[in-house]
């Protein structure tokens, strides 16, 4: 199904929030984006719950993946997202 959607919609998901995130992750390339950078993409004007829901849906559909990056010091770990080969 994922492959069919990619072909039909040209690598687009179909809702503005998800498509904006997907475009930003494409532009980020191998560096990916942190959760904070994704929030900043919308000038912190989108609810965190909406962004999380979009990312979780995109991940369950195979569009993106994430990894928790351990900090080198005592700070918090960083959640970083990447686009899958689309």
- Phi-psi group of 44: left, alpha or beta (phi > 0 → left; psi -120 to 50 → alpha; rest → beta): left
pLDDT digits (tens, 9 = 90+) for 6-43: 434 456 788 999 999 999 999 999 999 999 999 999 99
Tell me what pLDDT residue 86 has: 56
Instruction: Quote the pTM value.
Output: 0.80
pLDDT of 5 over the 70 cut: no
Please name each of the domains of the chain with its CATH number.
2-83 (1.10.10.10)
């Amino acid at each position: 199904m994922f492959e069919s959607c990619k072909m039909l919609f040209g690598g687009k998901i179909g809702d503005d929030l998800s498509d904006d995130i997907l475009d930003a992750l494409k532009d980020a390339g191998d560096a990916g984006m942190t959760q904070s950078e994704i929030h900043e993409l919308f000038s912190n004007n989108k609810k965190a719950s909406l962004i999380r829901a979009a990312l979780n849906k995109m991940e369950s559909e195979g569009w993106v993946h994430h990894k928790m990056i351990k900090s080198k010091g005592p700070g918090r770990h960083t959640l970083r997202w990447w686009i899958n080969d689309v």
